[in-house]
Chains A and B, each alone.
Chain A
Amino acid sequence: MKTHVVDYGRGNIASVCRGVEQSGGEVVLTTRASDLAKAERVILPGVGAFGDCMSQLEALGFVDAVKGFAATGRPLFGICVGMQVLHSIGEEFGRHAGIGFIPGTVSAIPKTTADGQPHKTPHIGWTPLEYPAGKGHERWKGTILEDVEAGTSVYFVHSFTAAPETAAHRLADCHYNGRLISAAVQRDNITGVQFHPEKSGAAGLKIIERFLRM
């Protein structure tokens, strides 16, 4: 189960690679956009600022390569900022175009709780996953979350959060001090998670394993 992990100089890819290996996958680290043409499945990691990640992906030719790859229908998995850039717009340090698979904007987590109390951002720590509003486990069938129970806590570190425009693209949500956070999105063969499955213990490894079997 070969998995191409995009190495564009942004992010702690060692942990992602180790998570994939632990889950039975074989990692192909790739710094060349042309490699994606023959990839079976692709992980797009990312840490840092949305605009910076996008301009680096653009500079290395990965934006077009990822679009070309996704058009083949093979599985694409964005993690953290790699999930955010799947959306159309990012508002971190200015307004930036994303890759645009998922219509929606990535903006700062509100500086107050839902009750208007100040709270800390980034949102760091373990937070339970929920089904999107009005959905149940059927939404997770056939996706990377198939083996996960609602209420499973996973590890987040982020200051910005995505807001998909189409409810059908929401795969999982969570709440941080009452604020709605898009924890996972999915559209056809494209999936993204805001949290770090590679740092979310056994549940996270199950999620990666499921991706490897897609």
Chain B
Amino acid sequence: MSNLRLIARLDVKAPNLIKGIHLEGLRVIGDPNEFARKYYRAGADELIYIDIVASLYERNSLLDIVDKATREVFVPMTVGGGVRSIDDAKKLLRVGADKVAVNTAAVRRPELISEMAERFGAQCVVLSIEAKRTKSGGWEAFTDNGREHTGLDAIEWAKRGASLGAGEILVTSVDQEGTRKGFDVELTRKIVEAVPVPVIASGGMGSIAHMTEVATGAKPDAIAIADMLHYNRATLEDIRAGARAAGLAVRDTTVGAKAA
């Protein structure tokens, strides 16, 4: 098993970093890049930026934020929210994003996933799935911050996305998101079992125990952390130490370059 990646997730409503509950009821947290720098220095393995209002082309948009961030942050960055075309993806990659996340546009036109994978490589394409539990015991994929139904079964959609060429699946539980009640372990496990590509579990982390729960119960490749970090309820160092204490393999950030 490779190391569990610890990813800081930044939801953005430009120019602000925001945080919601169930992806709604947004609160302004601050300047996203100030937080990005802090998480980079604290040893985040990656960063995810999601523009929750999909304002890619507006003034001071996500594009500008990412353009600035990639001058100061030297770990992989996934960027999404409002990516509708190859051209949108190209713009983000050109300012230094490493992976591009798609949700709505891929639901509308799944071939976009293949087109992006062919053009930029599968490792660049992240399928973002916002999943909500249904009454029948499954999960439905949603778009627009968990507001719009797609009618797609989240697990089938993950499978299809991977077969179309998505190199990674970001699965956000809308039910758990912002609640601090823990990840949707069952959802994560079903998706991990269904796809041959890495899976990032997102939504609900409120304690270090929640990380252990999802890591052992679902075996995702990465976890996305937002609330806990933004509200300073734990640092990345605390979380990394907690992972080690629980016997989870994570990157050892204590070994590094010698002082010159």
Chain A residues within 8 Å of B, Cβ to Cβ: 12, 14-15, 18-19, 21-22, 47-48, 120, 122-128, 147-153, 155, 157, 176-177, 196, 198-207, 209
Contacts and interface: CB of A to CB of B under 8 A. Distances in A.
Given A125-B3, A125-B221, A206 B257 contact: yes
B71 A18 contact: yes
Contacts of A148: 256-258
Contacts of B168: 124
Contacts of B75: 155, 199-201
A206 B256 CA distance: 10
B26 to A, nearest CB: 30
Contact of B76 (A18, A120, A155): A155
Contact of B93 (A14, A151, A205): A14
Nearest to B196: A120
B201 to A, nearest CB: 15
A149 B260 contact: no
A57 to B, nearest CB: 17
Contact of A126 (B3, B98, B198, B258): B3
A12 B70 CA distance: 12
22 contacts: A14-B93, A14-B95, A18-B74, A19-B74, A47-B120, A48-B121, A123-B2, A124-B221, A125-B3, A126-B3, A149-B255, A151-B255, A152-B256, A153-B3, A155-B76, A177-B1, A196-B76, A199-B76, A200-B74, A201-B43, A206-B257, A206-B260
A147 B74 contact: no
A159 to B, nearest CB: 8
A108 to B, nearest CB: 14
B45 to A, nearest CB: 6
Nearest to A21: B71
Given A199-B75, A204-B74, A152 B93 contact: no
Interface residues of B, number: 36
Given A125-B5, A128-B252, A149-B255, 9 more contacts: A12-B96, A12-B98, A18-B96, A124-B2, A124-B123, A126-B251, A127-B3, A148-B258, A207-B257
Closest 8 CB pairs of A and B: A206-B257, A126-B251, A151-B255, A14-B96, A203-B257, A153-B251, A15-B96, A157-B123
A119 B40 CA distance: 29
Nearest to B2: A125
Nearest to B254: A151
Contacts of B197: 120
B45 A126 contact: yes
Interface of B: 1-3, 5, 40, 43, 45, 70-72, 74-76, 93-96, 98, 120-123, 167-168, 196-198, 221, 251-253, 255-258, 260
Contacts of A22: 71-72, 74
A122 B98 CA distance: 15
A125 B198 CA distance: 10
Nearest to A146: B258
A152 B71 contact: no
Nearest to A113: B1
Residue among A22, A122, A209 with most chain B CB within 10 A: A122
Contacts of B252: 128, 151, 153
B74 A153 contact: no
A28 to B, nearest CB: 18
A196 B198 CA distance: 19
A203 to B, nearest CB: 5
B76 to A, nearest CB: 5
B36 to A, nearest CB: 13
Residue among B74, B95, B256 with most chain A CB within 10 A: B74
B256 A125 contact: no
Residue among A15, A200, A201 with most chain B CB within 10 A: A201
